[in-house]
Amino acid sequence: MPGSPASSWAVYRARLKAVFHGADPRVCAAFWLFGLINNVLYVIILSSALDLVGPNVPKGVVLLADVIPSFLTKLCAPYFIHKIPYNVRILIFVALSACGMLIIALTPQLQDSRTIAIKMCGVMLASLSSGGGELSFLGLTHYYGHFALAAWGSGTGGAGLIGAGAYAIATNTLQISPRTSLLAFSFLPLIMVFSFFVILPLGPLRAGAERHGEYEPVGSGERDEEVDEETSHEREHEGLLSSSSTSGKSVTGAMNSFRANLHRARGLFFPYMLPLLLVYIAEYTINQGVAPTLLFPLSSSPFTEYRSFYSTYNAIYQVGVFISRSSTPFIRIHHLYIPSFLQVANLLLLTLHAMFDFIPSYYIVCVVIFWEGLLGGLVYVSTFAEITDNVPKEDREFSLGATSR
């Protein structure tokens, strides 16, 4: 019967099937795991900040060590990282992450300045890996299309929930020591190796006839071999070049490549980088600066201690991020500045409340925090989806990585 539950379910299934038509399960699984593992250690490190530095050291030390190396990597690496094949990058990122976590976990649990400095070195190694991984995996989506980007975004959104939840369950519910928990989590980067070399199709694959035709090969030396063959043929016809001439041409070629990439980056700033930057600034300010001050009387809240407010706000924010970062197949935002300005409005609203205390209920703040997470995740995935749609193919891989900063 028309309008019956059975017919409604059939219509829903048909629409869902149409949305995901052409999606390769192996590609989606691999990129979801890339997003999850690349970001989950960042979340675990922030969740363990109190255990790493103790109660007498500002937790912002951990935040800075976890954010600045990643930011600098994403700022500089797009101009040279394309020289490194993806398979080599994966091994480098896994080694950096694992070594960083092992340094954190195996350093004695003392609270002196030397011990904390050693732990922060481990945090910075993991941060370098996370930053390089993000720009590399985003660049890699260029070869695999929209579903790879959607799976990556969903994985990064899930990292917040899974990372914070896993650390809380391990240390609170299971009563595992922070040191043992961090030691166990140090093996998580190996999942990226499995995802890349086992799950992800690496050769030229055929996608649906309506979508891509063939995947381009990644992580192999095929392109370099082709370039070498072309170069050798040219040299057969042109004669041998002197070493000084070759060196000069190499430097000139590198400088020309750098200038071309710098020109590309300038063209990305206003349409893509700036709205994403506004969202990042607003989110970091809310989550690290404003949210800890958004307290209400315990009698009007579901909590028995004030420390529960911040952890609850963070969990609600992560749920919003996960939902919106998983929404690319269903929702697309083309005007990126609109949600960016709405996020800045969230910052202004919550800052004014922190100063003048005019929001009457804790639950209203929870709604605003959830809305903050939705906006942040939506701008993130929509930015890279717009680049995939609008940037010319020859510039797309660089643009995806460079905008990740």
Place of tokens 């929509």: 382
- What residues does CATH 1.20.1250.20 cover in the chain? 22-203
Alpha-carbon span 14 to 362, nearest angstrom: 41
Tell me what the mean pLDDT of segment 27-50 comes to: 91
The angle subtended at Cα 147 by Cα 146 and Cα 149, nearest 5°, is 65
Confidence label for 235 from pLDDT (cuts 50, 70 and 90): very low
Neighbours of 164 (CB within 10 A): 19
Predicted pLDDT of residue 248: 57
pLDDT of 328 > 80? The answer is yes
Alpha-carbon span 79 to 92, nearest angstrom: 18
Question: Exposure pattern of 10-38 as b/e (b: 16+ CB <10 Å)?
Answer: eeeeeeeeeeeeebbeebbebbbbbbbbb
Predicted pLDDT of residue 296: 93
Give the relative orientation of helices 178-185 and 25-47 as an angle to the nearest 10 degrees. 150
pLDDT tens per residue across span 53-83: 877 777 778 888 988 999 899 888 888 888 8
Confidence label for 123 from pLDDT (cuts 50, 70 and 90): very high
Torsion over CA: 232, 234, 238, 243 (sign)? negative
Q: How far is CA 219 from the centre of its chain?
A: 20
* Terminal CA-CA length for the chain: 53
Q: Phi and psi at residue 206, in whole multiples of 5°?
A: -90, 125
Alpha-carbon span 164 to 166, nearest angstrom: 6
Q: Please check whether the domain covering 22-203 is classified as CATH 1.20.1250.20.
A: yes
Residues in a beta bridge with 31: none
Looking at per-residue pLDDT, the higher value among 217 and 209 belongs to 217
Confidence label for 34 from pLDDT (cuts 50, 70 and 90): very high
The identity of residue 233, as a single letter, is H
pLDDT of 45 > 80? The answer is yes
